[in-house]
Structure 1
């Protein structure tokens, strides 16, 4: 079941799309969009998570630019999507995400722990959120901003799982290696690199990006990590 709630911040409000599992209750996951908005791919991932027993909430991160904006995942939409990211406020945006996290904790169906999961643009935001707020789990898929913000690792207290593609044209392999080195030996942190994976390999709504093999392998690791840390079904 899906509904839309509003998150209030000092200078406005934005949409938070909430999905609940068949059981009616479960751990919460804040699902952070990629550059195409809260559209069919985010909905598909939410459905996957709901099927596992989570309460899922996806905030509209582009609301300050164009509220509730979403487009198809194709080459024609890519320039506009990239322009949305270029206009994104990287100071206020993480504050919005933190407000969405607080709202999710208060959703009545959320029973227990709360984590964050983000893809691409959202993968960077999920990582930054884990460094500024308490989350019980964080999963970051190919966040291009992660390699340049490794100092934030020192501020993360909860478990984190990173995913990257080893053949990502947008994130050089040497940058991924820098994340591997930074994460190595840190308790509660893990990184998985699908060497045959390009950028956005998990996005099954984008034929130009989707790679079933890397996607399936990474998602199995994600399911296991979230289940172990958030205790779904416990």
Structure 2
């Protein structure tokens, strides 16, 4: 079952929308799904639906709600791609992380257990948010796909105390090899962190729809993510 829900901010001064997909039976845990720069679009909702089919309660908060609530963009349309960049630039990242924390709390509330396990998975902009969820929230596990800008927050890596899986594309034209080398240098020594580089693919390879997707690489990455969450949230 899927529905739109409202989540209260941590400061109790507002509410923001989120897509929520629930499994047919009792959820074994919850996962917060963090959008790309294109909003909670059909691809992100499909990610939630897949997680629900795997037995998780999946919640995708609208992190652009303060600027433009309900935006759904198609990355294959150049004008909409640029619109997404503009929305990201207007988004307060610190508030976005706090909204993810609010979504984590809301997930535990829906599961009826204040100590229920909740993971975070994010893509692109959401990959950066997922990394920061690992440093700033009490998420039980986090996965980031091709998170741009992670290298600007490596100073926070000391706070990573729970499992974190990062997927990168070997041919990523937004996150070059030098940047990935800096990320490896900062994180490879942390026993909680696993970094996987996927050969021959570019940024966005695991999107559900559109020209950026590479089926083989997406399936390999998603299988690894599924095993990661099964281990750490199961």
**TM superposition score category, shorter chain reference:** over 0.9
Q: Please list every run of 5 or more consecutive structure 2 residues that lacks an aligned counterpart in the other structure.
A: none
The correspondence for 1:80, drawn from 83, 99, 118, is 83
Q: Please list every run of 5 or more consecutive structure 1 residues that lacks an aligned counterpart in the other structure.
A: none
Question: C-alpha separation between the residues in 2 aligned to 1:25 and 1:216?
Answer: 23
Q: Secondary structure of the residue that 1:220 maps to in structure 2?
A: helix
Question: C-alpha separation between the residues in 2 aligned to 1:44 and 1:6?
Answer: 19
Bigger helix fraction: 2
Written as runs of structure 1 = structure 2, the 5 A alignment for 1:20-31 is 20-31=22-33
Question: C-alpha separation between the residues in 1 aligned to 2:22 and 2:137?
Answer: 23
Written as runs of structure 1 = structure 2, the 5 A alignment for 1:127-166 is 127-166=131-170
Q: Secondary structure of the residue that 2:189 maps to in structure 1?
A: coil
Question: C-alpha separation between the residues in 2 aligned to 1:131 and 1:74?
Answer: 32
Corresponding residue of 2:4: 4
Corresponding residue of 1:122: 126
Alignment: residue pair count: 230
TM-score (norm 2): 0.93
Corresponding residue of 2:93: 90
Written as runs of structure 1 = structure 2, the 5 A alignment for 1:203-214 is 203-207=207-211, 209-214=212-217
Q: Is the Cα–Cα contact under 8 Å of residues 94 and 128 in structure 1 kept in the other structure?
A: yes
Q: Is the Cα–Cα contact under 8 Å of residues 28 and 115 in structure 1 kept in the other structure?
A: yes
Q: CA RMSD in A?
A: 1.5
Tell me whether 81-90 or 116-125 shows the greater mean CA deviation.
81-90
Q: Is the Cα–Cα contact under 8 Å of residues 159 and 229 in structure 1 kept in the other structure?
A: yes
TM-score (norm 1): 0.93
Tell me whether 105-114 or 176-185 shows the greater mean CA deviation.
105-114
Question: C-alpha separation between the residues in 2 aligned to 1:118 and 1:144?
Answer: 11
Q: Is the Cα–Cα contact under 8 Å of residues 25 and 109 in structure 1 kept in the other structure?
A: no
